[in-house]
Amino acid sequence: MQSPGEFEIIDRYFRDIGHRADVLLGVGDDAAVLEVPPGECLVATVDTLIEDVHFPSGLAAADVGWRSLAVNLSDLAAMGARPAWTTLSLSLPRADTGWLAGFAAGFAQLAETWGVALVGGDTVRGPLVVTVQAMGLVEREQWLTRSGARPGHLVVVSGTLGDAAAGLAAWRGGAGASQCERTLVERFTRPAPRIELGRRLRTCASAAMDVSDGLVADLEKLCAASACAADIDVGSLPLSEALRTVHPVDRRELYALTGGDDYELVFTIAEESFAALCAQQGLPVACTPIGRVRRGRGVVCRRHGEAISLPVAGYDHFGAGAAG
């Protein structure tokens, strides 16, 4: 079979992902035309995934497709936005139809979960690099930022931490032996953006961001943006049953504090607002207080009140510890 050309690729795999009435002109022209409702603002973010940096070579194409959109939707979740549109730029070494079909299926599966329309993009020949931009909408004056944390506020995280990093390690080790390992692997391959939680937090959290580079590294950025410090109690970290089963205590705490890719939300919130949030019906994901904001700079991890130090910092692509 002849390999498909650039325009055929777009036509065959990417033309029909998501339909929305506010897409006035979609894939196929020089640009998309999109309608932003009155009273709402556009929220835009972009993330690039590179083979062997952001995902291991050999990861299933459908997982790459899902992840590439998930990491962007997670950014929208952290802003309190509802996702609307996405563009995709795909650089591929060759037009591998099996890979493309898998990628598109994984991408479309998550897009359809959240009613997101793919409105544009390009496919080019080159190294395997996936860049996705996600665009969402948020009510005027209601978006979340990293900069609103105040001393005394609780530090809270959604879901469980460390699973994705442990899952990646399990995947590399050829996991699948146990159900617990498979659960962890899926947390890496199929992260769930916390959109619904982000929407709830709009009106009650003081600051929020998503956990992509690791809890401590990301919380440090939130604290820097808010000009304050935070203490974390490592005994309070929410750890999954799977992580507890597979790893001993020191290892799982390390995953939870420094492992990336969880795509949970970390947020700060006044104590009474958190109580009101927890009292709501149907909180979409468990939320666990893990510490408190205070004056100062940086993040201190504590066990039984005593500061502890961490062996590994968060991920910086050009830093000393970055993967090649």
Interface with a copy of itself in residues 26-45 (CB under 8 A)? 28-36, 38, 41-45
Residue selected from 9, 61, 117, 290 as contacting a copy of itself according to rule CB under 8 A: 9
The CA-based diameter of the chain, rounded to the nearest angstrom, is 65
Q: Is 15 in the site for a copy of itself (CB under 8 A)?
A: no
Q: Is 79 in the site for a copy of itself (CB under 8 A)?
A: yes
Q: Is 304 in the site for a copy of itself (CB under 8 A)?
A: no
Tokens 């205070």 identify what position? 294
Residues 6+ apart with CB under 8 A from 148: 205, 206, 207, 226, 268
Cα–Cα distance, 284 to 45 (Å, whole number): 23
* Residue number with CB closer to a copy of itself (102 or 193): 193
Cα–Cα distance, 314 to 224 (Å, whole number): 15
Do 51 and 128 touch, CB atoms closer than 8 A? yes
Residues in contact with a copy of itself, counted by CB under 8 A, come to a total of 73
Distance linking the first and last C-alpha atoms of the chain: 36
Q: Is 258 in the site for a copy of itself (CB under 8 A)?
A: no
Per-residue binder mask for a copy of itself (CB under 8 A), 85-124, x = binder: x-xxx-xx-xx-----------------------xxxxxx
* Contacting a copy of itself within 145-164 (CB under 8 A): 145-147
* Contacting a copy of itself within 50-69 (CB under 8 A): 50, 53-54
Closest approach of a copy of itself to the CB of residue 234, in Å: 25
Closest approach of a copy of itself to the CB of residue 50, in Å: 4
Strands 82-92 and 117-125: parallel
Closest approach of a copy of itself to the CB of residue 220, in Å: 11
Residue in 286, 143, 161, 260 with CA at minimum distance from that of residue 208:
143
Q: Is 313 in the site for a copy of itself (CB under 8 A)?
A: no
Residue selected from 63, 163, 181, 210 as contacting a copy of itself according to rule CB under 8 A: 210
Q: Is 241 in the site for a copy of itself (CB under 8 A)?
A: no
Q: Is 250 in the site for a copy of itself (CB under 8 A)?
A: no
Q: Where are the beta strands (DSSP E) in 106-152?
A: 117-125, 129-139
Tokens 């899926």 identify what position? 186
Q: How many alpha carbons fall within 13 Å on the CB side of residue 165?
A: 23
Q: How many alpha carbons fall within 13 Å on the CB side of residue 99?
A: 14
Q: Is 298 in the site for a copy of itself (CB under 8 A)?
A: no
